[in-house]
Amino acid sequence: MIAFYQVGYGIAAFGTGPLRDAGMGFPALFAGTAVVAVLLGIGSFLLTRAGRPRS
C-alpha cells in the first residue's frame, strides 16, 4: 500500500510540470483528476457489491 502511495505521489510531483509545459492549465488538470477520483469511487462500490454473498 505504501508503494502505491509513493508511486502516486511521484506522478503528482513530477508529472505536473511536463503537463503544464505542454500547455495544459491547472483547471484541466484538476478536472481530470476529479474525474479519475469519481470513477475510482464508483469502481470501489461496484467491486464491494460484487464481492457480497447473495442471500
**DSSP state string for 3-52:** HHHHHHHHHHHHHHHHHHHTT--HHHHHHHHHHHHHHHHHHHHHHHHHHS
The per-residue pLDDT for range 24-53, each reduced to its tens digit, is 898 998 898 899 999 999 999 998 887 677
Alpha carbon dihedral 30, 32, 38, 41, in 10-degree steps, equals -100
Tens-digit pLDDT profile for residues 9-25: 888 888 888 888 899 89
- What confidence tier does 4 reach under pLDDT thresholds 50, 70, 90? confident
